[in-house]
Amino acid sequence: MHQHEYIGRKMRLPKLKEKPAIVIAAFGSTSRAKAALDIFKANLAQGFPDHETFWAYTSEIIRKKMGLPSLQETLAKVEAMGFRKVVVQPLHIFPGTEYHQMAETCEYFPGLRVLLSETLLHRWGFIKETLGVVEAEFLSPAEGLNLLALHGTPLSADPVNIVYLGMERLVADRYPNVLAVSIEGVPDPEAVLAHIKRQDMVSQYKKVKIIPMMYIAGLHAEEDLMGDEDSWRTALEGMGFIVECPMVKYDGKDYYKGLAYYPELINFFMERLKRSLSLTNYY
């Protein structure tokens, strides 16, 4: 093939984009999650109107059910559109297994400079800032006991366990009536419930408030936390507690209040994204 023919074909390719693309990586989008993601999308459009934004989903089950793209598919699309820089902003709370899987995926595209941004609780300072927002939900010591419901991981060797255990200690030291508990892994829910029973906390606190520390408090809140069978609620009620979970109304419907419904925490995600976009000027 003559070299000028090759160059001519190359010149007809789409012009490369100057601004980085934004890819939002969420766990998944079901009918339950749509309201929370709509709030984030509105904030994203207002905060970054000059950037093209795309979405990717990390749950294989939800992707197959809803026909949604994976991070790999979204990055391939972005590359084909002429982008050479991308910021991937996860809507994950902790930098656990899924976050490290995203990091590996981002390395599959040598033609892209992909910067993976930080999760909500990526740094100890971020954890303190987030607790400062969520503590507005806490019952006072005179009112009752609070349980921060973390997602957790079943993998004992996952490095994120140090964050879960560190947060357990941090919360216990900062608040007299707050315990951190994971749905999976550590801090172990059965162990914490046994501690509550052994310490006879029902004689001190008549009420327990379960506060989901998840972006979207969907099935975990409905089944594991507040379900009618084998849930934290039924176990605590069996000890004699009155149990509640914060709710929020959006578009005429009631939802368990995940972190997606705190405006300040959405702003924290926007700050993560803004910082990462600024770093693309240097890489």
DSSP letters along 144-210, please?
A: -EEEEEEEE-S-TT-TTHHHHHHHHHHHHHH-TTEEEEEEESSS-HHHHHHHHHHTTGGGT-SEEEE
> Packing angle between helix 71-80 and helix 97-106, nearest 10 degrees?
30
pLDDT 10s digits, 164-209: 999 999 999 999 999 999 999 999 999 999 999 999 999 999 999 9
pLDDT 10s digits, 216-241: 988 888 899 999 999 999 999 999 99
- CB-based contact 47:263 (threshold 8 Å): no
Would the pLDDT of 11 be above 60? no
pLDDT 10s digits, 247-278: 998 888 899 999 999 999 999 999 999 999 99
Strand partners, 210: 147
Amino acid of residue 89: Q
Whole-number average pLDDT of the chain: 92
- CB-based contact 22:273 (threshold 8 Å): yes
Residues 6+ apart with CB under 8 A from 81: 14, 17, 21
Query: How far apart, in whole angstroms, are the C-alpha atoms of residue 115 and residue 276?
Result: 7
Strand partners, 24: 55, 89
Would the pLDDT of 8 be above 60? no
Would the pLDDT of 37 be above 50? yes
CA nearest neighbour of 153 among 164, 137, 141 = 164
